Amino acid sequence: MNRMPLSRLAVTFAVAPLVLGLAACGKKEGGDTATKSEAVAKAAPPAGKAWTDVVSKTAEGGYLMGNPNAPIKLVEFGALSCSHCAEFSEKSSAELRDKFVASGQVSYELRLFMLNALDMPAALLVTCGAPETVPGLAEQFWAWQPHMFEGLQKAGDAQMQAIQAQKPPQSFVSLAQVGGMTDFITSRGIAAPQAAACLADGKKATDFAQQTQTASTKYEITGTPTFMIDGDKITGNTWPEIKTALENKGAR
């Protein structure tokens, strides 16, 4: 599904129909077939740490986990409302984290992409704490995602139409409450007042919208999940395809 225009993301962010949240992403067929490179050297993490504990925010607004100087750099443009992103996370997270990132050969950067009205409050809450918590919280959110859709479906048309008439940040607050996102984040160590402050952070919301606009124009990202390896966008977006591409780059 195509992203919403920047003006709608940043200013109105009206509530889309539920089917938008349920179909906010799409699988692409096929993958890249690269010739295998020589295996790259593994790198030792800082003393007393694992590479999976090393997380930093990038200049592009993403959250990079692993060796910042890794010779192989994997970037995911992912939307928290995207069911295929959730599927990728379920199938990839353990091996990507514990084998590829932990080796120091590969870094993984998550760039949150705003596909629809659900993604803004979700992104504001998942990034509400310290940067090092974001990859883990995103993984947990994707696993929990069906509960969000259940909550929205139970709300009914009248309540959803009322939310649609609201403006940010109240619309963010209402969507987060109805979809259970607030309960999700407060059950994971973020205090309710902190969560409320994050949902009201207009600058951060504008930054997320701008980052989505930049990804769309600079990298031609139109759906999620979409991946780049070493700056090149690849056609595959399933874990077997991404794993093969990483191995072909020398991560093995």
Q: Cα separation of 104 and 91, whole Å?
A: 21
The secondary structure of the chain in percent helix, strand, coil, rounded to multiples of 5, reads: 50, 10, 40
Q: At what angle do helices 202-218 and 119-126 cross, to 10 degrees?
A: 110
75, 111 Cβ separation under 8 angstroms: yes
Which pLDDT band, with edges at 50, 70 and 90, does 36 fall under?
confident
> pLDDT at position 90, please?
98
Neighbour order of strands in the sheet with 63-65: 55-57, 63-65, 106-112, 72-78, 226-229, 232-234
What pTM did the predictor assign? 0.89
Q: Cα separation of 40 and 56, whole Å?
A: 23
> pLDDT at position 197, please?
98
Determine what percent of the chain is predicted with pLDDT higher than 70.
87
**Gyration radius from the chain CA atoms:** 18
> pLDDT at position 79, please?
98
pLDDT digits (tens, 9 = 90+) for 103-158: 999 999 999 999 999 999 999 999 999 999 999 999 999 999 999 999 999 999 99
Residue 177 has a CB neighbour count (10 Å cut-off) of: 16
> pLDDT at position 23, please?
38
Which pLDDT band, with edges at 50, 70 and 90, does 18 fall under?
very low
Query: Over the chain, what is the mean pLDDT?
Result: 90
Task: Write out the two tokens for 85.
Answer: 């992103």
pLDDT at 15 over 70: no
The whole-number average pLDDT for the span 190-216 is: 97
> pLDDT at position 165, please?
95
SS3 of 53, please? Answer: helix
pLDDT digits (tens, 9 = 90+) for 61-89: 999 999 999 999 999 999 999 999 999 99
Residue 149 has a CB neighbour count (10 Å cut-off) of: 17
pLDDT digits (tens, 9 = 90+) for 206-224: 999 999 999 999 999 999 9
pLDDT at 11 over 90: no
Q: Cα separation of 225 and 227, whole Å?
A: 7
pLDDT at 227 over 80: yes
Residue with tokens 């409050």: 121
Which residue from 173, 118, 175, 179 is spatially nearest to 154, judged by alpha carbons?
Answer: 179
Q: 122 or 26, which is more confident?
A: 122
Q: Which domains does the chain have, with CATH numbers?
A: 6-248 (3.40.30.10)
> pLDDT at position 199, please?
98
Ramachandran angles phi, psi of 235, nearest 5°: -85, -30
Q: Cα separation of 16 and 177, whole Å?
A: 16
Which residue from 69, 58, 89 is spatially nearest to 97, judged by alpha carbons?
Answer: 89
Q: 11 or 140, which is more confident?
A: 140
Which pLDDT band, with edges at 50, 70 and 90, does 229 fall under?
very high
> pLDDT at position 27, please?
53
- What is the rounded end-to-end Cα distance, in angstroms, of the chain? 34
